[in-house]
Amino acid sequence: MLTLISRRMMLVIPNLIGVVIITFLLTRALPGDPAAYFAGPAADKQAIEQIRVKLGLDKPLIVQFGRYVADLGHLNLGNSLTTGQPVLTEIKNRLPASAELTLFGLILSMSIAVPLGILAAVKQGSWIDHTCRVVATAGVSLPVFFTGLLLVYVFYFLLGWSPAPLGRLDVFFSPPPQITGFYLVDSLLNRDLSTFRAALSQLLLPGLTLCIFSLAPITRMTRASMLAVLASDFVRTASASGLDSRTVILTYAFRNAMLPVVTTLGMVFSFLLGANVLVEKVFAWPGIGSYAVEALIASDFAPVQGFVLAMAILYVLLNLIIDVLYGIIDPRVRLET
């Protein structure tokens, strides 16, 4: 198992190097001049040049890159121009917010999509199948920001069921003491039910937005994998030997069908973290996605680089974990590697 992990890590390193290089070049190609931005609206050429030297932006690109990599080695991701804070602390502070939202959306989505997928597979070709398909596909066909705005309009503005879209907690709550960084978990660990409720009510709409967007891939996956399993010999054998269809579907087919679904969840998770960018903007969510968007628009290099790197590492780790888990669950895979 250890060799498997270390081998996988070796494979991953070139990818990360690629990510670092591409991000560096891409951010340098952004329009806008950080020196001019820093120097303020009234700066003359000389003042801008002074700032440029101060920021080290007068050096050739390759020197800047060297410095960037050296800083990375010291876990220094630089400072954001727009918020003025070190990028690493910001990412550390904001990642739990994004992760909590994404996980919540994913769980919500799973709880709807998996039953839908199973239903569609079992009733393959029927109107139920078509309805499931249409519903799920409709969800993925809406731009997330539009879904989000629509939900805010209906549930906050018109109906007043949902609290103000003001981030993770109502203004008059203070966040629970940080343990995991997930407000839901932390407030429960502190037995603070009112904070838990407040955090949950803030999470619902953005979570629902993400859920709607991710219904389709999960439903589709579940359906396909259920179909494959339902057609397989052992399920046929099970039903042939007179087991009632409920047992066959839930005990035999479902379990086996879930395997490929779980593996692709990693992909969906990272895909959702990406989709988060827009959702966070709509809901004033203090996550890393909104942070990256603002930074990119402001040609603020450091946060963009930091964000992309953090996401890449997360993606790689996630896939590694899934691979390992898969190996544990399914011995055949281990043999093959």
Partner 1 sequence: MKRRDFLKSASALAASTAVSAPAVFSPAKAQSRQETLLIVSESGPNNLDIHGVGTNVPGYEVSWNCYDRLISHEMKTGSNGQPYYDKNKFKPELAEDMNIGDMSVTFKLKKKATFQDGTPVTAKDVKWSLDRAVSVGGFPTFQMGAGSLTKPEQFVAVDDNTFRVDFARKDRLTVPDLAVIVPCVVNSELVKKHATEKDPWGMEFTKQNTAGSGAYKVASWVAGTEVVLERNDAWMGGPLPKTKKIIWRMVPSAGNRRALLERGDADISYDLPNKDFVELKQDGKLTIVSTPYSNGIQYIGMNVKNPPFDNIKVRQAVAYAIPYQKIMDAVLFGLAKPLFGAVPDAPTEVAWPQPHKYNTDIAKAKALMAEAGYPNGFDTTLSFDLGFAGVNEPLCVLTQESLAQIGIRTTINKVPGANWRTELNKKTLPLYTNVFSGWLDYPEYFFIWCYHGKNSIFNTMSYQSKTTDDFIDGAVNAAATGDNATYDMDVKGFVDTAYADMPRVPLYQPYVNVAMQKNVSGYAYWFHRRLDYRTLAKG
Partner 2 sequence: MTDISLSPHGAAAAKAQSNSIFRHARYVVAENPVTGAAFGLFILIALCALIGPYVVPYDPLASDTSATLASPSFKHWFGTDQLGRDIFSRVIVATRLDFTIAISSVMLVFAMGGFAGIAAGFFGGWTDRIVGRISDTIMAFPLFVLAMGIVAALGNTVTNIVLATAIVNFPLYVRVARAEANVRRDAGFVQAARLSGNGDFRILLMHILPNIMPIMMVQISLTMGYAILNAAGLSFIGLGVRPPTPEWGIMVAEGAGNIISGEWWIALFPGAALMIAVFCFNLLGDGLRDLVDPQRRT
Which of 1, 29, 75, 158 lies at the binding interface for partner 1 (CB under 8 A)?
158
Residue 124's Cα: distance from chain center in Å?
31
Taking the least distance from each CB to partner 2, the nearer of 102 and 187 is 102
CA angle 123, 125, 127 (to 5 degrees): 80
Which of 157, 178, 317, 321 lies at the binding interface for partner 1 (CB under 8 A)?
157
- Cβ–Cβ < 8 Å for 110, 218: yes
Choose the contact partner of 84 out of partner 1, partner 2, none; CB within 5 to 8 A by kind. partner 1
Taking the least distance from each CB to partner 1, the nearer of 117 and 306 is 306
Burial 214-227 (b: 16+ CB within 10 A, else e): bbbbbbbbbbbbbb
- Cβ–Cβ < 8 Å for 36, 48: yes
Taking the least distance from each CB to partner 2, the nearer of 192 and 294 is 294
- Cβ–Cβ < 8 Å for 330, 41: no
> Can residue 40 be called a binding residue for partner 1 (CB under 8 A)?
yes
Cα separation, 150 vs 167, whole angstroms = 17
Task: Please report, for residues 198, 205, 211, 276, the alpha-carbon distance to residue 104 in angstroms, rounded to integers and kept in the order given.
Answer: 15, 11, 9, 12
Task: Tell me which residues in 297-336 interact with partner 1 (CB under 8 A).
Answer: 297-300
> Can residue 27 be called a binding residue for partner 2 (CB under 8 A)?
yes
Span from 99-107, 112-120, 179-187, 219-227 in contact with partner 2 (CB under 8 A): 219-227
Q: How many residues bind partner 2 (CB under 8 A)?
A: 55
Choose the contact partner of 291 out of partner 1, partner 2, none; CB within 5 to 8 A by kind. partner 1
Cα separation, 327 vs 25, whole angstroms = 37
Positions in the binding site for partner 1 (CB under 8 A) = 31-33, 36-45, 47, 50-51, 54, 80-85, 90, 93, 149, 152-153, 156-167, 170-173, 194, 197-198, 201, 281-284, 286, 290-291, 294, 297-300
